[in-house]
Amino acid sequence: MIKGLFRFGGDLIETIVNQNNIMFSDVSTGVITTIEGLKLDKAGVIKEFKDLENDDEWRKKAMKRLKEHIKKYKTENEKIDYIKDELEKYGYEPLTKQRAGHRQKKWQ
């Protein structure tokens, strides 16, 4: 298991990767959600997957593609680094990364 801590505005968001399970937690409220709980912007999804523009099930299909893409990474470290790269594009500031049983380290 590996965790990543991000700042977005005044909020702290923790990302937890445990094999192929990915969860997100808002540190201030304690709300935990799976990857299905992510809010997706339709314009952003269409920018990435143009074939979903006129599809009524665009969110469901985009989520499936995201899950399949993340499963391609072999290690939890590769998965958390991919998530970091994606979140940075949307203004999230990476703070720390922590493997289970180890101390937190600043993200490099």
Alpha helices per DSSP H over 27-75: 42-48, 58-71
Q: Tell me the C-alpha distance between 4 and 40, whole Å.
A: 20
The string of pLDDT tens digits covering residues 51-98 is 989 989 988 898 888 888 888 999 999 999 998 988 887 788 999 999
- Domain spans of the chain, in order of start: 2-98
Lowest mean pLDDT among 6-15, 16-25, 29-38: 29-38
The string of pLDDT tens digits covering residues 25-53 is 888 888 898 888 777 778 878 888 899 89
pTM over 0.85: no
Asked if residues 14 and 98 have their Cβ atoms less than 8 Å apart, the reply is: no
Which residues partner with 49 through β-bridges? Answer: none
